[in-house]
Structure 1
């Protein structure tokens, strides 16, 4: 058990000894099996250097080595498993005085009001406004990368509604700060403890009416300015910074305007086609320029939903080794920005003109923003890269997972958008692996980050490469089976149990992790299926993008994913039905590999039925085909057993089948 005392309380983390024993035992046994597999493969090459199966064996062996390498890196996550860390506060500090709470900045990002509905974004904003935090210490920033009037109108309406919502939450102790979640039928759980007095019910009805009015005003704004944010304006618009305040247009009582709320700022950074805008990292740095791994140095910062110390983004170590002589070289020429770094309080007269200067395209010229300080621009996955740099400077992170979620938001709502998002993630990860920030080399040069932490970062960075192994194992053994070339040991071989153990060990350990984390066998099965789907599509395309970008063939791009909620998609999701309304770039590989394995399995099984002589040599390849088909059952079902809107399109099924048959025909000619 680790224990760290502080002014606020005691920080405790517990190692899980039984889980540690299970993890390390599995690592040991699995590693021994992998060494035996490597010995088996190498012995073949020495004993059969001129065999016609040399190149198929080499490709399969390379894929096995790659999967083993990624598996080995991932063992760092399991080496010292711990339960969630808690902060235990003394009773007298359960409600600390406001002076003990530091200034807190909340950043909210949106890039496209058509793909990220304005009403949903404003609900997130209102939830942040309603945080139980001293208003004078809380600043909220909404970054609108598209510079859309729809978003600007929405934030003004949200600020107006917050004057009703925040006092209501504070007075009656409402635990659900999101009005949409609170007033929805699904919010019944949060309303069980509601006060049932006449005064409360009356106020609740008033606030609900105000919320409906807010929604109508927001939707009216969306209709009014729909289409006004053109593609060109999203990449070419001036900087706009506004501190959002309410006027008294609707004649509300003056006391309502006196309610103390956090500072709310709308930010749209300047964008020009002639200046790189660095995607989300650029938007993050504009705001920063203002004002599993629990047993190691803490979890990696990925996506959203994390708090971060500003000093860590300024290239300053936890020991506080500031160097004022390099401030202007690193941060630019803004005196107002320097104030917090020098230990001074934020100026209350911070000019909007100064903020717009910080949001301009040219402010970062001649300083180190995006290169040494702030969120770094060397990868489209700026959070992962910045997390690596921060940990290498000695900072630690803590995983917090309370019973009631700290953050709620919308994710992608369709298979197509999910795969687009995963493609971008894998592009960014592999960019890191083949850059100067490769964790295996970058971290080894820095003493502040441990070996296990380095392995965790490396596992993420190299993970996209597993897509090449999946493609190899989904095609090469199958094609070899058609021509009687075995690539796995025969059933009677002493190495056959080695392959069986590796297969069972990997699947059973994953199932174990799913079950102890509260999941079910169905969750495990879906994770396995989605791992294969993402591996042959999104991971593969992301890896190709990264490799082509490395040789200068193409540049990285950023496409916001669609988070508009579709009721039909939600209904199918609740029915455990896969939705295959996706691009042909994603559907064609799925259909092609399913059809290839179906054809090969049928031919291979037919040969065994006719003649039992060679079943021992081909059993491994035949079982691999069967397993792929089993994991692909939702795809097969959508091809032949469904006719709903989200079934697998017939044109993709037919087209992929024809392509596979043509490839098999030409291959048969080559091997004649």
Structure 2
């Protein structure tokens, strides 16, 4: 890399990137000061109200409970708002100029100066993660605009499936045709599936027809094998291919099997049909034993770091999810624009590219774009120490996994160190023996892997935790956010899948919050207050469930029982509440639209925030609490059993997909029922009651209207369910029972 840096310096090339401070920075800081004053005033109001109740000679329990609940709710909101301001202190925008490096690609003398890249692709189940999706991901990065001899793709199959290995053997044969086709035709969509489905592919030619036929033939063979669950002898003709499957004996299972490492393509030997070098392609299934802890994806990534170190030990590592294919062949050149900067050489540990998704419907019904996490907040963190690692689309310096910038932590073997030079062929016996050794399930025992080196263990959200720990060690990161998406991944198309995924995140984030590495103690000490607050905001995400649950139930139950809990319209405190609500939502909408969102997408995003808080956030917190207390939790995992074609049709129509009974849906349905009842009562009060009574409860009615509008998909699923995606009758009955129970409890308490 240093040679390439020197060459750029001697050619007098202008800067490879630039950065610009957001114009919202100063307005954000001014607004934060004003809004903070309003928050402090509201908390003061709560404190005065609560203290006056406590000082009464005879304290009524219901008013005391309501005041305490509102105080707790607003304290949590204040904490979350305070930590969120860290993202708004110094947001920056960056731009790269890869064309300046691209010129050197045409110079054969310069090719050897480009740094090698090891690409890690992780998969775990050929039925949940179809091998053809994984194959497309691998092919898209093998076809990068980058010296092929400098690229090595390592596929981690944690399911230990012969079907996945077969798929990649087929992919290697197709790659010999696909890579030269991309070069000769200057193809932009290097993912075959995306290329052949592209609307731009309007014309047909013999070359296109030929390569498409080869792809479809490969796809049919792979999908047939997956459907049958076995590989017919007719598909395996060569002796070396037969030997590759020898380890799949009768005792081989996904939970118990030896290490399998298969070098499918070797750039020292394999050439494409035009005699060009092909990238390395290596299949890895680490050893599994029921007696060993495998640490999920984090453990798989650490095996990839070690195995790749024995074979190629490239200074740059790219991690990808199995469904995240490359959408821009020049992405590595964009990354080099930062890594070749001498100022960044000793401090920048990784370059994170925002995750983008294809297949999202027009209005993003389930807020799967996750714009705040991947774009808005990431831009804010980029102006501090850099964005967090989001698990895919991230280019690391290999050195980052071995201690901080100023403190190198060496592994137990010199061959695994970041500076080790591999001088033996990847298929040599010595290299393969060492690779099998470091992929063993007991190899990490009594080592620092997962603790001080490698991807870090200790949380279900290994990506978040690892990025956080790396930045605590002193590394910085950079957000590379090009206009053209660098990668595209798959997004969930049902509410079931969205909530399952985010409940797992909620549990993992709480594991970080209440560990010795808490962002509020360990983080602020090592990164500073503002940067520590960015990670603290994420780690506290599940506790949004507290204020959302309180404001979704308490004011409405009070309204139904004739109890006033908010100021009247004529009181000054009403203006304060109005400012806090409009200010928070208005700022959120402004940021969302500036980053390319629409009002309808923003509305769906804030609705999903409420839904997540009342479901996966709430139940994730409960599951974490039970786990921390040593109590076995029953779990609230859902399994979607609806035909995917039916799901896709409803998703494209913007219809919410429920379909299954779950406790997570019970809370949502309870909120919908109670708020609808409260709205009817509020309208009755407005039409038939006194003006004074309605003015007293105006804020409660408005809040109820807001929740009811957000619950529109729930009502449609309850009352207009004409398909399998509706809310089951069981869920509705249980929710109705608990809603009535809450009303009765509130009624008795208010009359006592």
Is the pair's TM-score, using the shorter chain for normalization, greater than 0.5?
Answer: yes
Partner of 1:250: none
Alpha-carbon spacing, 1:150–1:556, altered in 2? closer, same or farther (3 Å)? farther
Residues 116 and 564 in structure 1, CA contact (< 8 A), matched pair in contact too: no
CA contact (8 A) 1:285 1:370 kept: yes
Give the whole-Å Cα distance in 1 for the aligned partners of 2:121 and 2:385: 27
Q: 2:41 aligns with which of 36, 41, 54?
A: 36
Counterpart in 1 of 2:66? 56
CA contact (8 A) 1:336 1:347 kept: no
Query: What whole-Å deviation, never above 9, does each CA across 1:217-238 have from its counterpart, x for those lacking one?
Result: 1012102326999999332222
Residue 578 of structure 1, CA deviation: 1.9
Q: Aligned with 1:308: secondary structure?
A: strand
Match of 1:267 among 273, 284, 300: 284
Per-residue CA shift, 1:178-237, capped at 9, x if unaligned? Answer: 1111111xx123x47x8x8xxxx2221111110011001101210232699999933222
Question: Which of these residues, 318, 325, 328, is aligned with residue 405 of structure 2?
Answer: 318
CA separation in 2, counterparts of 1:562 and 1:146?
Answer: 21
Which residue of the partner structure matches residue 452 of structure 2? 372
C-alpha distance in structure 2 between counterparts of 1:267 and 1:557, whole Å: 32
What is the TM-score normalised by the length of structure 2? 0.80
Q: Out of 120, 131, 139, which is 2:133 matched to?
A: 120
SS in 2 for 1:397: strand
Supply the distance in 1 between the matched residues of 2:39 and 2:50 (Cα, whole angstroms).
Answer: 17
Secondary structure (helix, strand or coil) at the match of 2:415 reads helix
- Distance, in Å, in 2 between the alignment partners of 1:558 and 1:611 is 44
Shift of 1:90: 4.4
Cross-structure match for 1:188: 199
Q: Distance in 2 between matches of 1:143 and 1:411?
A: 21
Aligned residues: 641
Distance 1:91 1:145, change over 3 A: closer
Match of 1:353 in 2: 433
TM-aligned CA deviation for residue 649 of structure 1: 3.0
Shift of 1:174: 0.8
Counterpart CA distance in 2 for 1:554 and 1:270 is: 28
Superposition pairs for residues 207-606 of structure 1, below 5 Å? 207-225=211-229, 233-245=253-265, 256=273, 259-290=276-307, 291=309, 292=379, 293-315=381-403, 317-319=404-406, 321-322=407-408, 327=410, 331-332=411-412, 334-338=413-417, 340-342=418-420, 348=426, 349=428, 351-446=431-526, 449-554=527-632, 566-606=644-684
Question: For 2:714 and 2:92, how far apart are their aligned partners in 1?
Answer: 38
Q: Take 2:193 and 2:166, find their aligned partners in 1: how far apart are those partners?
A: 19
* TM-aligned CA deviation for residue 172 of structure 1: 1.4
Give me the TM-score of the superposition, normalised by structure 1: 0.89
In the alignment, is the contact (CA less than 8 A) between 2:177 and 2:272 conserved in 1?
A: no
User: What RMSD over aligned residues (CA atoms) do the two structures have, in Å?
Assistant: 3.0
- Out of 263-272 and 129-138, give the one that drifted further: 129-138
Unaligned segments of structure 2, at least 5 residues: 232-247, 310-378
Cα distance, 1:473 vs. partner? 1.4
- Deviation sequence 1:487-543 (CA, Å, 0-9, x none): 222222211100011111111111111211111111111111111111101111222
How far 1:68 moved relative to its partner? 1.2
TM-aligned CA deviation for residue 669 of structure 1: 4.2
Residues 307 and 560 of structure 1: is their aligned pair in 2 closer, same or farther, counting only changes over 3 Å? Answer: farther
Structure 2 Cα separation of the partners of residues 210 and 545 of structure 1: 49
Partners of 2:99 and 2:723 in 1: CA distance = 55
Cα pair 2:265 2:278 within 8 Å, conserved: no
Secondary structure, counterpart of 1:341 in structure 2: coil
Cα 1:92–1:481, aligned 2, differ >3 Å: closer, same or farther?
closer
Kept in 1, the 8 Å contact 2:494–2:651? The answer is no
Which residue is equivalent to 1:249?
none
* Residues 353 and 24 (structure 1), Cα distance of their counterparts in 2 relative to 1, 3 Å cut: same
Shift of 1:88: 6.3
Gap change, CA 1:91 and 1:391, over 3 Å in 2? closer
In the alignment, which residue of structure 2 is the partner of 1:65? 75
Distance 1:564 1:452, change over 3 A: farther
CA distance in 2, matches of 1:415, 1:229: 39
Question: What is the deviation of 1:557?
Answer: 9.5
